[in-house]
Chains A and B, each alone.
Chain A
Amino acid sequence: MLGDGALERLRHEGRIVVVGASLAGLRAAETLRAKGFAGSLTMIGDEPHEPYDRPPLSKGVLLGRARADRTALPRLRTVDATWRLGVPATALDMAGRKVRLADGDEVPYDRLLIATGVRARPWPREEEAELDGVFVLRTRDEGAALARRLDGGPRRVLVIGGGFAGSEVASACRERGIPVTVAERGAAPLVGALGGVVAAVAAGLQREHGVDLRCGIMVTALEGDASGRVRAAHLSDGSTVETDVVVVSLGALRNTEWLDGSGLGAGPRGIACDAGCRAFDIRGIVTDDIYAAGDVARSPHPLFGYQFLSLEHWGNAVAQAGIAAHNMLSESVDRLPHMDVPAFWSSQFGVNVKSVGVPSMATDIMITQGSLDSRRFVGVYGYQGRVIGAVSFDQGRWLPFYKELIERTAPFPPEFPTVDRHADGQRPMDADFPDPSVPSHGPTVTLSGYSPADRRMTFVPAH
C-alpha cells in the first residue's frame, strides 16, 4: 500500500464502520476524527441509547445516587457520524466488505471496527430466568429495572455469583438496608479474580456488613409463585432461600454470534487479533481491514508470555479503541501495539479495590503493605519468579508503583524491604487460585490462548 496513495484516499473519502456503539466504539470514533479522518463514519449499535457508561450501573445507580438513564458517556470531541442505533448487525461479508443489519440494510466499509462487547450470561433455565424478579445487570435498561425493584424494598435479594459485579450489587443492597444472600460456587467471593488469600478478606467484609454469604454452593433451581414471580431459590446443599429478587451475576458471554460463518477468527472466547487490534481470520491470517477493540477482543500481550488475554476492563476498552483507530489510518511502520498493563477498579462495602496486571495468572502472593486483618493492604502476585500483578484494598495510591514493577518484569518476591513490617508481610504464600478448569463467574481477565491440553478443537487442513 505504501506510496500508492490508498491510505490518503482512505483518510479523505474512505468509509469506516464501527459495530458496537458503546465505550470502545465511541472512543474509537472520537480518535478517528481527532486524527483527521474525513471520510464517512457509521456507528451501528443494537441498543437504542447513545453510548453510556456501565460502571455506575452497579454502584451509584443501585444506591439511588445516579439514574441509569443519565449515564451517557461524555463526548470528548465532535464526532460527525451516521448513527444507526437500535439495529443489530447480523452478518459480516468479508469478501464483499459489507455489514448486514437486522433491518435488511447492508453497510459497505473500507475499514471495520468490531466493538460488540459482551452481554450478561443469563440464568441457564429459561422458564426460571423469565420469572418476574430475576435480573441480570449489563445494560442501562437492566440497571434501571433493578434499581426500580430495589426502590420498592424487597424482602430479600439473592445474588448468584460473587464476582465483582455480584459483590457490588450485594454491597449496594446492604447499604440500603436490604437483606442479601450471596451464593458463590467457589470458596469465597472474588476468588477467581484475586485468589483465596484476598478472597478471604472479601468474605470477611461481606459478612461484617451483614451479607448472608454461602460459599461452595450452587443454586440448583429458582421457584416462582402462581403469578410468575420468583419466591425462592433451592441450593445444592438442600437448603432454600426465600427471596423476591434474584440477580444473576454469572459472568459474561462475548457478542460474536453475528460473525458465525463469516470466516473471521471469532468465537465464544472473543475475536482473536494481533497486538495492533487487527483481527485474524479463521486461517490465522491477519486481516488488514478489520479491527477489534474492547471486551470482545482477545489479543496477545508481550508482558504475559504472548498469552491471548480477554479483558473486561473499562480502561482496556478505551486504550484499545485508541490503538485500533490509529492503526486503521496508519502505514505498517507507524502502527502501534496495545501493550497497556491491564488495570481494574471496583468499590464495595466502602472499600476501594484495584488491581493491575494479571493476578489470575499468579501462583504466589505477598502482602507488601498494610495487613489483611486491617483490610487495607497491597498484595503483589508472583509467577515464575516475577511480579505479574498487584491488588490494593484502600491503598490505590500505590498501584502505579507496582504497575511499573510489572512493566519492568521485576523479580518476585520483590527485593525492596516492605514498607510496613506486618506479620503477613514478610513472606510469599500460595495465592490459592481455584483450578482454572472449574468455570467461575468470570475473573475479568481471561487467559484465552488455546492450550495444547485443550482437546475440543479439530484441525482440518484446507487441502
Chain B
Amino acid sequence: MSIAVDLNRCQGYAQCAFLAPEIFTMHGDEALLYDPDADEAQREKLAQAAAACPVQAILVDAVDEPAEAVPGAR
C-alpha cells in the first residue's frame, strides 16, 4: 500500500501515530515520519488513521493499479 502525507496540511496532531504506530512516528516534537510503503497487514489500522486525521492529510491508495514500465507500449 502506498502512502503519502500532505505535510503542508499535517499539523502534528499525532492521531495517526497513536492509531498506527508501525507506520507513523513523531520525529521530535512536531515532525512526522512515515513509511510510504506499509505492509498489507496494516490496512485496517491505516484506514483508521487516515479517517482520524483531523485535517485529512493522509493519502492512501484507492486502487491497486501500479503503472507498468513499458517503454515500447502504446
A79 in contact with B65 given A60-B36, A71-B37 (CB within 8 Å):
yes
Complex Cα distance A344/B10, Å? 12
Complex: chain B residue closest to A69, CB-CB: B37
Neighbouring B residues of A366 by C-beta, 8 Å = none
Q: Are A397 and B12 in contact (CB under 8 A)?
A: yes
Q: Are A53 and B67 in contact (CB under 8 A)?
A: no
Interface residue ranges of A365-381 to B (CB < 8 Å):
376
A73 at interface, CB cutoff 8 A: yes
Interface residue ranges of A43-77 to B (CB < 8 Å):
43, 48-51, 53, 55-56, 59-60, 63, 65-67, 70-77
Neighbouring B residues of A48 by C-beta, 8 Å = 69, 71
The smallest beta-carbon distance between B43 and chain A, in angstroms, is 13
Neighbouring A residues of B64 by C-beta, 8 Å = 75
Q: Are B67 and A43 in contact (CB under 8 A)?
A: yes
Which one of B32, B59, B71 contacts A87 once the chains associate, using CB atoms below 8 Å?
B71
Contact with A along B11-34 (1 / 0, CB 8 A): 110000000000000011111111
Interface residues on B, range: 35 or more
The smallest beta-carbon distance between B57 and chain A, in angstroms, is 11
Complex Cα distance A161/B1, Å? 35
A180 at interface, CB cutoff 8 A: no
The smallest beta-carbon distance between B16 and chain A, in angstroms, is 15
In terms of DSSP, what is the predominant structure of the interface of chain A? loop
Which one of A56, A63, A344 contacts B36 once the chains associate, using CB atoms below 8 Å?
A56
Q: Are A354 and B4 in contact (CB under 8 A)?
A: no
The smallest beta-carbon distance between B66 and chain A, in angstroms, is 5
Complex: chain A residue closest to B71, CB-CB: A86
B7 at interface, CB cutoff 8 A: yes
Q: Are A53 and B27 in contact (CB under 8 A)?
A: no
Q: Are A72 and B37 in contact (CB under 8 A)?
A: yes
Neighbouring A residues of B68 by C-beta, 8 Å = 50, 83, 85
Q: Are A72 and B66 in contact (CB under 8 A)?
A: yes
Complex Cα distance A359/B41, Å? 43
Q: Are A60 and B63 in contact (CB under 8 A)?
A: no
Complex: chain A residue closest to B25, CB-CB: A65
Which one of B31, B59, B72, B73 contacts A350 once the chains associate, using CB atoms below 8 Å?
B31
Q: Are B27 and A76 in contact (CB under 8 A)?
A: no
Q: Are B33 and A59 in contact (CB under 8 A)?
A: yes
B61 at interface, CB cutoff 8 A: yes
Complex Cα distance A344/B66, Å? 28
Neighbouring B residues of A351 by C-beta, 8 Å = 28, 30-31
B2 at interface, CB cutoff 8 A: yes
A82 in contact with B37 given A74-B3, A347-B28, A397-B12 (CB within 8 Å):
no
Q: Are A60 and B73 in contact (CB under 8 A)?
A: no
Q: Are B28 and A85 in contact (CB under 8 A)?
A: no
A74 in contact with B67 given A65-B33, A315-B8, A351-B28 (CB within 8 Å):
no
A78 at interface, CB cutoff 8 A: yes
Complex: chain B residue closest to A348, CB-CB: B31
Complex: chain B residue closest to A318, CB-CB: B6
Complex: chain A residue closest to B38, CB-CB: A70
Q: Are B67 and A83 in contact (CB under 8 A)?
A: yes
The smallest beta-carbon distance between A38 and chain B, in angstroms, is 18
Q: Are A70 and B69 in contact (CB under 8 A)?
A: no
Contact with B along A198-235 (1 / 0, CB 8 A): 00000000000000000000000000000000000000
